[in-house]
């Protein structure tokens, strides 16, 4: 029988990860009623520019994606409104696209938005 004592030390280092996603996505929305409180559904689709950098390595890629959405808008005076909405974004994987770790890249994520809208009288 052997008896062994060891002392190990490990250090993984410090990693800096930066991710950026810029969508260029026109959208359409359908409002169910025309009162002060207006629930709606919509769809946005277009180009998503994605970039990831880990320490000094970086990759960027563009993807087509779309996002069904739903929300509610509250009308304010002078063509303004406050809105709260949720989007389910789906980025489609290009054939052979891989991230820094070698995995196929495609993404799904939920996004919540709160903001102010201005309506043009056309």
**Is residue 37 situated within a structural domain?**
yes
pTM of the entire predicted model: 0.70
Q: Which residue has the tokens 């980025």?
A: 91
- Cα(37)–Cα(25) distance, integer angstroms: 25
- Cα(5)–Cα(9) distance, integer angstroms: 14
**Is residue 56 situated within a structural domain?**
yes
**Is residue 47 situated within a structural domain?**
yes
**Is residue 106 situated within a structural domain?**
yes
**Is residue 12 situated within a structural domain?**
no
**Is residue 87 situated within a structural domain?**
yes
Q: How many domains does the chain have?
A: 1
Q: Could you read off the pLDDT tens digit of each residue along the chain, which spans 122 residues?
A: 555 555 556 666 677 778 888 889 999 999 999 899 999 999 999 998 888 888 878 888 888 999 999 999 999 999 999 999 999 988 887 665 665 566 655 678 899 999 999 988 88
Comparing C-alpha atoms, which of 91, 85, 64 is closest to residue 73? Answer: 85
Strand partners, 38: 73
| Domain interval for residue 84 | 17-118
**Is residue 46 situated within a structural domain?**
yes
**Is residue 93 situated within a structural domain?**
yes
């Amino acid at each position: 029988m052997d008896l062994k004592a060891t002392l190990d030390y490990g250090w993984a280092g410090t990693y800096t990860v930066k991710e950026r996603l810029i969508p260029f996505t026109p959208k359409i929305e359908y409002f169910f009623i025309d009162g002060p409180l207006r629930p709606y559904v919509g769809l946005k689709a277009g180009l998503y520019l994605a970039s990831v950098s880990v320490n000094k390595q970086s990759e960027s890629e563009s993807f087509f994606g779309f996002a069904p959405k739903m929300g509610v808008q509250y009308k304010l005076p002078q063509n303004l409104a406050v809105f709260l909405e949720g989007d389910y974004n789906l980025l489609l994987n290009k054939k052979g696209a891989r991230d820094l770790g070698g995995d196929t890249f495609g993404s799904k994520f939920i996004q919540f938005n709160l903001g102010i809208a201005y309506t043009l009288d056309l």
